[in-house]
Amino acid sequence: MLDDGVPYAVIARTVGNTSLASVGRYAISRKSEAAKIVDDEPGMTDVLSPTREYPSTVVTSTGHDAFADMAVQGTALLDRVIDSHSRAGRRNGAVFDTSHVRERAFDLAASVAPLRIANENHDYGLNLRGFPFGRIPSLPATEEMLANLAIQRSGTPLTAEALAEDIKEEAARLEVGPGLLIGDHDLFGALSRVLRDYGVTAGAETMSASFIAGLLCAHLGVTDWYQDLDEWGRRNSRLTFSCPCAA
């Protein structure tokens, strides 16, 4: 519901759909600058578009995922999660640099982005939910490895060879940093797979839960979208977060 009391269902009937951009335009048409709408997971094509524009009432995450923004833009918490879940492995002889593991996880998570973009651009309908990073046989992952995993779980006549070529073509066209393309599920799936290379067993869901449990206001504060909302709230004498972040 916008600040002028108009329910979301009425907006949908008025603008014809419920996309954030449409709702944002509706808010502007009602002169409802008192409303702010947050898109916490813009599509890959939106992130990649150099001309991506939203109404002034819409604030988006910096990259593909607002949750991943907190890990990419402020790495201290993620490093603590890595250290916490590797204690047993290190006691058993695992040796690695935490920041190196983190960067390898970022790279592996980002390597799936061209696959997702190819799937979206060509409308392949591949099953990429919960991508099986644990089944990647060795690192670094090649386009052929990623294509094979996607094909095996999708029941498609598309060949792995053709898909691998599409992945390479999309990767060659990328003009943004890998941090902008990482989703939170991919990030922790990739991190679990990277740690396995060092003899550390740590589940993606468990590490994700630890990350969420450890979130503090400072971790929100490093993100561009939080700073945009906080600045807007101060400028308009409005409380944008009902938590200590806004104190």
194 vs 69, higher pLDDT:
194
CA distances to 107, 163, 189, 220, 236 from 183, rounded to whole Å, are 12, 21, 10, 17, 32
Task: Give residue 103's pLDDT band: very low, low, confident or very high (50, 70, 90).
Answer: very high
Check if the beta carbon of residue 101 is closer than 8 Å to that of residue 82.
yes
Flag whether pLDDT at 1 surpasses 50: no
Nearest C-alpha neighbor of 179 from the set 80, 109, 101 = 109
CA distances to 13, 27, 39, 93 from 24, rounded to whole Å, are 14, 5, 11, 54
Check if the beta carbon of residue 63 is closer than 8 Å to that of residue 38.
no
Residue type, 9: A
First CA to last CA across the chain, in angstroms? 25
26 vs 207, higher pLDDT:
207
Flag whether pLDDT at 16 surpasses 50: no
Flag whether pLDDT at 19 surpasses 60: no
Q: How far is 171 from 142, CA to CA, in rounded Å?
A: 12
65 vs 190, higher pLDDT:
190
Across 18-22, 24-28, 113-117, 176-180, the highest mean pLDDT is recorded for 113-117
Residue 157 makes CB contacts below 8 A (sequence gap 6+) with: none
Nearest C-alpha neighbor of 197 from the set 155, 134, 147 = 134
What pLDDT score was predicted for residue 128?
95
Residue 52 makes CB contacts below 8 A (sequence gap 6+) with: 42, 46
Q: Which two tokens stand for residue 1?
A: 């519901």
Q: Residues of the chain with pLDDT > 70: what percent?
A: 74
Q: Count the alpha carbons within 13 Å of 102 in the hemisphere toward its beta carbon.
A: 19
pLDDT in tens, 150-172: 999 998 999 999 999 999 999 99
Lowest average pLDDT, out of 120-129, 149-158, 233-242, goes to 233-242
Nearest C-alpha neighbor of 132 from the set 189, 200, 201 = 189
CA distances to 120, 123, 232 from 140, rounded to whole Å, are 24, 27, 42
Across 7-11, 65-69, 110-114, the highest mean pLDDT is recorded for 110-114
Q: Which two tokens stand for residue 6?
A: 């108009």
Task: Give residue 20's pLDDT band: very low, low, confident or very high (50, 70, 90).
Answer: low
Q: How far is 179 from 181, CA to CA, in rounded Å?
A: 5
What's the pTM?
0.80
Check if the beta carbon of residue 44 is closer than 8 Å to that of residue 64.
yes
235's enclosing H/E stretch is helix 224-235
Question: How much is the average pLDDT of 6-13?
Answer: 49
pLDDT in tens, 23-62: 555 555 555 556 677 766 666 556 555 556 666 777 777 7
Q: How far is 227 from 240, CA to CA, in rounded Å?
A: 10
Residue 58's beta-bridge partner residues? 37
Check if the beta carbon of residue 98 is closer than 8 Å to that of residue 26.
no
Question: How much is the average pLDDT of 191-220?
Answer: 93
